[in-house]
Every structure is written in C-alpha cells, then in structure tokens.
Amino acid sequence: MNKLKIGFDPLKNWDIELFRDVMRSLSIQPEAYELYIISTSEDVNKIAGIATLLNIPTDHVITDIETVTETTTALSANKIDIYLTAFMDVFSATQSGTLAIGILVNPQLQDQYQMNPKWFDQMTFWIKKLTINGQESC
C-alpha cells in the first residue's frame, strides 16, 4: 500500500484541539501516512516545534511560501494527496489547480448531524476512499 501524503498549514489550525489530536494520530502511523507542513507562516520557531512534535522530517517542512500559487506548486511538486487549510483562497486554488484534495478547516462548520466538524468528516472520508482505491490498484 502506498502511503497517503497529507499536507497541512498549522496557521490558525493548530489552535484547534481536534486538529492537533488528528495530526498526532496520523504522525504515529508512519507506515500509512507522510505528513507535510506547507505554510505561509513566518513563525519559524512555531513551525519547527510542530514538526518536531509530529516527527516530520525537515524536507517535509516547506515554509518559504508567500502566495497561493506557490502553495499549489508545493502541493503538486510533493504529490500531496490531501491538504488541510484554514484559508478559503488556498482551499479554492487547491480544488482547481492541483490533484490534491483540499479540505477547508473551519471548526464552525458542522456535519449534517452536528456531531463532528465538517473538515473532520471530509478528511476521514477521503482517507478511506484513497486507501481503498490504493489497495485495489495494487
């Protein structure tokens, strides 16, 4: 099975407890997931701290991003499968300009049953879908 490449921008997202918990959970499964930080944040110390906490290798941390176009270029160059962002412009560009699945992280948007944040359900759906498709193609 191929590993899923999941990228995220911790800017704004890292303040959400569920988001941190999900990223930690993914990070302890290195046989299944490769995590990437692709961020416009200028807080290099915070990004480095998050990367260390999640055991993300330095070559998977991309912080010299200044524009939406540079973000989509980084997603394509690193063949990211799923990208989580709090920014609507990046989400929209991801949807139209890359093969990555963009997920907008907004804790106020709930699923139809008001049980989980919508981003969490979308991420879970796409992880299952991509994992199943990856196994079938082997």
- According to CATH, the topology of domain 4-136 is Rossmann fold (3.40.50)
Closest Cα to residue 116, out of 127, 126, 105, 129? 105
Judge whether 37 and 50 are in contact, CB under 8 Å.
yes
Predicted TM-score (pTM) of the model is 0.87
Q: What per-residue confidence (pLDDT) applies to 1?
A: 55
Residue with more model confidence, 91 or 40: 40
Cβ-in-10-Å burial (0-12, 13-18, 19+) of 63 comes to middle
3-state SS, residue 40:
coil
**Residue ranges covered by each domain of the chain:** 4-136
pLDDT greater than 80 at residue 97: no
| Angle, CA 89 vertex, CA 83 and CA 94 arms, to 5° | 35
